[in-house]
Structure 1
Amino acid sequence: MAEHDHTHPHTQPHTHAHPGEAAPGDGRWKHDGVRVIPGDRLDPNTAQTPGMFRQAAINAARVGAQKIWAGTVAIEPDAKTGVHHHGDLESVIYIVSGRARMRWGERLEYVAEAGPGDFIFVPPFVPHQEINASTDEPLHCVLVRSDNEAVVVNLPDVEAVEPPETVLWVDPIHKRP
C-alpha cells in the first residue's frame, strides 16, 4: 500500500470516495448534480388564480428538491392575502419590482414595506398578511420556502388591518378566505 506525502497534501489526487459521495469519474453527478433552471423555463403548471401568476423553478417534481421550494410570483395591483401563517416553514421573498407591504403580529400591529432589491424573511408561525402596496403597478417577487409542502393556516379570527379586497392573492398556499 502506497503512503501519501503528507508534507504536500495538495499534490496527491483524491482517489477515494467518502460514504455517500461519488468516486471521481463515475458520472454520478452529471445528472444528479448542479442544475440550472433558465428563467424562461419556469413551470406555470401550478394552480393559477386571478390576481397572481406563480411559477415553480425548484421543487420535488422539477429537480428532486426535498427540503426547499423556489419560484416566482407576480401579484396584481392591490392584491392582498387574508391573515395566515405557514406553520413551521420559513419563507424568503426577494422583491424584483414593485412595492410589497407586510403586516404581522397577533393583531397585525406591525407593518413594513419592501422594494426592488429588498429581502423579506417570514419566520415560522408568524401571523401575517402580504399586500401589493401599489394600486396600479404589479409586484414581482422570487419566493423561497424551507419545504416542498404547501403549508398555510388561515387565521379568520384576526381581522385584517387591510381587508382583502379588489383582487385576492389566492394560490395553493393562500386559500380563498
Structure 2
Amino acid sequence: MATMLAAVTEQVGPPEVIKVREVPRPRVRDGWSLVRVRGFGLNRSELFTRQGHSPSVVFPRIQGIECVGEVVEATVGAPPVGTTVAAVMGEMGRAFDGGYAEYALLPNDLLIPIATELPWDVLAALPETYLTAFGSLQALAVTEGGTLLVRGGSSSVGMAALSLATGQNLRTIATT
C-alpha cells in the first residue's frame, strides 16, 4: 500500500496535537481526484477547528481548507492529469481530509484549474485570500466608479480586496 506524510490533528487541543506521520495515500473514487499537494495556506478557521470550535469535525483529521498542486489521478469531470489546480473550502479538512499532506483526495467540483508560472509558495498563499475578498466584493455589489473602504487594508484579505477593487475601477480607501 502506498503511503504519504501528513500533518494529522489527533484530537482537539494545543498545537502539540498535530503530528507529522505516515498514513495511507488516498485512493481515487468516482467524482474525486488525487492531487499532489505542492503548497497550502494556514487559516484561522483551522486553528478554531483544532481548538474544538467545529463540532462536526471528527478526529483524527488531516486539516487544511485550501491547497495548490497537480492532478495525479483524475476521474470523469476532473481536470486532466498534470493540470495545476487550487482547491478551497467545500468542507476540506473538516468533513474529509484536507491539504496538510503530500496528497489530497478532493471532490472534482472543488478543483480550480490555474494557468500560472507563479512559484508554488506564492500560489499557495492566494486561493482562500482572494476568494474571500472576491466574495466580499460580490456581496457589496459596488459599481464601477464607486468607493470601497477596506478596514485592515494591510491584511492578506485586505490587500487582495484592494487589488481586486482597483481592477474593477473602484476608488479605494484603506485603514490599517
TM category (shorter chain) comes to under 0.3
> Normalised by the size of structure 1, how large is the TM-score?
0.24
> Normalised by the size of structure 2, how large is the TM-score?
0.24
RCO greater where, 1 or 2, for CA within 8 Å and sep 6 or more? Answer: 1
